[in-house]
Amino acid sequence: MSNVILEARALRKTYLSGDRRLEVLNDVSFTVAPGQSVSIRGESGSGKSTLLHLLAGLDQPDAGEVLWADSTDTGTGRRAKFLGMVFQSFYLIPELNALENVVMAMRMVGPVSSAERARAKAMLARVGLAERAHHVPAHLSGGERQRVAVARALINSPQLILADEPTGNLDEKTGDAVIALLLELCAETQTALVLVTHNAAHAAKTSRSLLMHNGVLQ
Q: Any idea where the domains of the chain sit in the sequence? A: 37-59+74-217
pLDDT score, position 97: 98
What whole-number distance in Å separates Cα of residue 118 and Cα of residue 99?
A: 10
The CATH number of domain 37-59+74-217 is 2.60.40.10: no
CB 13 within 8 A of CB 50: yes
What whole-number distance in Å separates Cα of residue 197 and Cα of residue 202?
A: 7
**Residue 38 reports pLDDT greater than 80:** yes
pLDDT class of 154 with cuts at 50, 70, 90:
very high
Rounded to two decimals, what is the model's pTM?
Answer: 0.94
| Mean pLDDT confidence for 13-20 | 86
For residue 41, give every residue at least 6 positions away whose Cβ sits within 8 Å of its Cβ, in sequence order, or none: 48, 196, 197, 198, 199, 200, 203, 209, 210, 211, 212
pLDDT score, position 44: 82
138 vs 17 pLDDT, higher one: 138
